[in-house]
Structure 1
Amino acid sequence: MALASRIVRVSQALRGVSVKKSRSFYTYSPEPSQPLNRQPEWTTADEAVKVIKSGDTVFIQGAAATPIELVSAMTNFGKANGLKDITVCHMHTEGQAPYTEPDCQGIFRSLSLFMAANVRKAVAEGRSDCVPIFLQDIPKLFHHKILRPDVALIQVSPPDKHGYCSLGTSVDCVRAALRNSKKIVALVNEKMPRTFGDAIIHSSHFDAAVRVDVPLPSHGGKPPSDVESKIGQLIAENLVDDGATLQMGIGNIPDAVLGALKNHKDLGIHSEMFADGIVELVSLGAVTNRFKKAHKGRIVGSFLIGSQRLYDFVDDNPFIEMLEIDYVNNTHVISQNPRMTAINSCIEVDLTGQVCSDSIGTRMYSGFGGQVDFIRGAAEGLDGKGKPIIALPSVTNKGESKISPFIKQGAGVVTTRAHVHYVVTEHGIAHLFGKTLRQRAYELIKVAHPNHRESLEKAAFERLKTMPVA
């Protein structure tokens, strides 16, 4: 019933249909704003992007669903036709971001709601912008008309016999952007997996559509290092209970945690994103979602990226519900999950427990993402058994301590010291909740790299005017 009700509300909500949200379901008035037999204009990528004009705001779907062919065509069209002052807004995107190159300055300006590697250089050099924002709040930018897309570039699965496509691997803030976009251009990819939940959209809402058959961007294949494996083992053996609901991001540390959970039972998944490690845990029966209060028996996500194995796993699989980010990352929704265990990484932690995750000094690196959404949601767990976890190697690749006396000058705090409960490195687990500043420093120094503990003790004394204490 829950899955059916989410599928029912599909594309009628996109353009002018009255929609009423009531926690986990929607109702809508029966009159669609577009006839369901309306067909988009089937064309080429080069022709489709000609709807973009100078001064427009263009939304681009992200992660594995980044419509790379449309992005390339948009860039070429803007350069060839003397367009200017186009804002390109997006979350994390994959592939190249040619619209951020120096020769596009004045034509396009990227606005990142969560940065990926492809825009960092442009942001650092002042050609692009980024917005510090919680993932759960991003849809509000569109609903409150702070961002008003003129054109949305998306990637979807082919339509079924009823004309319904799927947003596939990225739902996140896409529906909010589409509801508020004047034009929708869809890349219809044979390789896009068909997912359910909030992903379903009718092709009648597309103004133009382009057929392709190309592989999606993929991540994965690099095994975790010994340090990452040790962190994963410590978390799995000490902090993840049978029956827990997990949130984890992408990267080697989350993968290492998942790899160490093969003997666990009845795990659930409620995460803004997930990657390949989930597939094996499902096949082994470790992930059942049996004890979840909402979406029982279902994996809940909002976007994903991984290998073809992951895309094959989620394709046409009702075990997976891809839902909007303002629901998945809502702190109250998160708190309802049993034994909610949030596992997030960061760039550095200072001796009082302040966590920097989005910048290295003044250089912006990523974004707030869902870290605070889930760290707080786990801490507020209604069963009192949630575990908010920050995990990081004790040192950088250059041997610098990632537990530092102070966060770097110009860096920002994403997760405050009041939010932090557990900090895990390969050297152990620091439990900070309820600890004084002296006790926090003591706990963090214990899990720092041995080569840095003496200097951290001295720094703690200078900062706190007293020695760290258990």
Structure 2
Amino acid sequence: MLSTRISRGIRRCAYSTKSSIPIVFHPSKLPRTVTADEAVRVIGSNSNVYVHTAAACPTVLLDALARRLDDAPANSVTNVRLHHLHIEGPTPFLRHPQNIRSNSLFIGANLRDAVNRGDADATSIFLSEIPLLFRRKKLPLDIALVTISPFDQHGFASLGVSVDVALAAVESAKQVIAVVNPSMPRTHGRGLIHASNINLIVHSDTPIYEKHEAPATAGTASDREAEISARIGEHISAIIPDGACLQMGIGGIPDAVLASLVRTGQQKLGIHTELLGPGVLDLIASGQVTNDQKDFMPGKISAAFCVGTRELYDFIDDNPMFHFDESSVINDPAVIKRNDRTVSINSCIEVDLTGQIVSDSIGTRMFSGFGGQLDFARGAALSKDGLPIIALPSATAKGESRIVPFVKEGAGVVTTRAHAHFICTEYGIVDLFGRSLRERALLLTSIAHPNHRQSLEAATIKRFGRLQWQGFMPHADVPAKASGSSPETKL
């Protein structure tokens, strides 16, 4: 019947819903509207609660939950567990560590200290696997707290800037509380949620979070960081071919790569990335991004979530150029490899001389998480002519080398030495794929900060014995201007 076909079509446009979607939607059928204070009263003891990601964080509900506990007996609500990726904004729930326990699936700066002093938890997990955690009930969710766009005439709202793991959360949770916010862009893709699958709505006019890069001031540390990022960006852009499909996040290095690409003028570029940042706007405006070489979502920019400026949010709003999907799809290496010439650009904390890449902790101090680094490193490696790149400054702000003989005790290796391919610093870029451990040590020493090369050479001799270069050079497919300094020293 026609009605059956329409119903199935609606489901395919959104996601696999928990309840049937009515063919005809009446505005009177919207979920009950309540205040934030009323909404959080459904959160009881021993609840597993999902909190929406990054810029979509429903802070109005977190504030209300903290207020509820401010005014209640200490044992009124206990063992509430908040599960989330990094969230922007304040963390008022930390006022009640005996009642609420935060569990970061990727640690943000605002919870880093709490995790390391034991007032919050962290779980190491690939971004691609978090939806499975919810759907398979390994982490059974009682309530999902999300921010959505206003409803359309058919009763659909959008998860907006963060589909990532939120799609699985709203599908899996027993109850969904949604903050309807007019500043949330309505994004195309699989992030639609129907009113019939929401239990309570709260209205808020507070703009969703933005992230701006602070401008560098001449002669300051930020100016030096910008200069280093620019040099790294030039090295990376030099090996990116026409028709490449890009994955990169936000920050100084990704923005420098994007700016360098605008100058070097590569054509027919595509974008398939977990995190979409404001640095893509100039590249798109230049006409270099066509997405017509992509196999997955050809003609579209595909992403899992977005953090940036109001300009970026306005650009993605109702823009069919973009396809937002959950991280189990965007970060699936089998999906990533479908796009030829995938270039993944990620950063890290330190790299040892064998190519072990530390990204989630500084020694035993937890810093971030696994995220999608290995998902994309593996996907790019499997992509035809793909380039998995790890980029980092050669030294810390204190002058310590970030290329080290051994990783710090307790440090978390996110990308193994077997997964390491291209490593880039401001001194060059080298390809470790297929190289012996001795060769890797020499290659990495060649792009280390000059102040530390002698000690790294000594560490190489101590670990691997004496050896000569004997004409050995970085892979020929790394352009000379982007390769590391040619080591001539005999060890």
Q: TM-score range by the shorter chain?
A: over 0.9
Q: Taking structure 1 as reference, are residues 185 and 10 closer, same or farther at Cα in structure 2, changes over 3 Å only?
A: farther
Could you give the per-residue CA deviations for residues 85-117 of structure 1, whole angstroms, max 9, x where no partner exists? 100000111111221x2x411100111111101
- The within-5 A match list for 1:243-322 is 243-262=243-262, 263-322=265-324
Q: 2:31 aligns with which of 40, 46, 56?
A: 40
Q: CA deviation at 1:422?
A: 0.4
- Provide TM-score, normalisation by structure 1: 0.92
**In structure 1, what residue type is equivalent to 2:32?**
E
- The within-5 A match list for 1:66-465 is 66-81=57-72, 82-99=76-93, 101=94, 103-223=95-215, 225-237=226-238, 239-262=239-262, 263-381=265-383, 383=384, 385-465=385-465
Q: Taking structure 1 as reference, are residues 34 and 51 closer, same or farther at Cα in structure 2, changes over 3 Å only?
A: farther
**In structure 2, what residue type is equivalent to 1:234?**
H
2:400 and 2:10 map into 1 onto residues whose CA distance is 50
Could you give the per-residue CA deviations for residues 377-436 of structure 1, whole angstroms, max 9, x where no partner exists? 01011x3x0000000000001110000011111101100011011000000011111111
1:410 and 1:258 map into 2 onto residues whose CA distance is 34
Q: CA deviation at 1:78?
A: 3.1
SS across alignment from 1:343 = strand
**In structure 1, what residue type is equivalent to 2:314?**
D
Are 2:11 and 2:17, in contact at CA under 8 Å, matched by a contact in 1? no
Question: Which range moves more in the overlay, 200-209 or 396-405?
Answer: 200-209
What is the percentage of aligned positions where both structures have the same residue?
A: 47
Question: Which range moves more in the overlay, 40-49 or 342-351?
Answer: 40-49
Q: Taking structure 1 as reference, are residues 6 and 76 closer, same or farther at Cα in structure 2, changes over 3 Å only?
A: farther
Q: Taking structure 1 as reference, are residues 6 and 452 closer, same or farther at Cα in structure 2, changes over 3 Å only?
A: farther
Q: CA deviation at 1:149?
A: 1.4
Could you give the per-residue CA deviations for residues 358-393 of structure 1, whole angstroms, max 9, x where no partner exists? 000001100000000000001011x3x000000000
Which has the larger Rg?
Answer: 2
SS across alignment from 2:413 = coil
1:106 and 1:260 map into 2 onto residues whose CA distance is 49
2:180 and 2:346 map into 1 onto residues whose CA distance is 33
Q: Taking structure 1 as reference, are residues 182 and 135 closer, same or farther at Cα in structure 2, changes over 3 Å only?
A: same
Q: CA deviation at 1:33?
A: 8.3
Q: 1:50 aligns with which of 41, 49, 57?
A: 41
Are 1:34 and 1:205, in contact at CA under 8 Å, matched by a contact in 2? no
**In structure 2, what residue type is equivalent to 1:392?**
L
- The corresponding residue for 2:16 is 13
2:417 and 2:130 map into 1 onto residues whose CA distance is 24
Are 2:213 and 2:251, in contact at CA under 8 Å, matched by a contact in 1? no
**In structure 1, what residue type is equivalent to 2:66?**
T
Q: Which runs of 5+ in 2 are unaligned?
A: 1-7, 216-224, 473-491
Are 1:348 and 1:355, in contact at CA under 8 Å, matched by a contact in 2? yes
2:165 and 2:247 map into 1 onto residues whose CA distance is 18
**In structure 2, what residue type is equivalent to 1:288?**
T
RMSD: 1.8
**In structure 2, what residue type is equivalent to 1:298?**
K
Aligned residues: 448
**In structure 1, what residue type is equivalent to 2:188?**
F
2:49 and 2:457 map into 1 onto residues whose CA distance is 51
Q: CA deviation at 1:160?
A: 1.1
Question: Which range moves more in the overlay, 71-80 or 334-343?
Answer: 71-80
**In structure 1, what residue type is equivalent to 2:184?**
M
1:215 and 1:74 map into 2 onto residues whose CA distance is 20
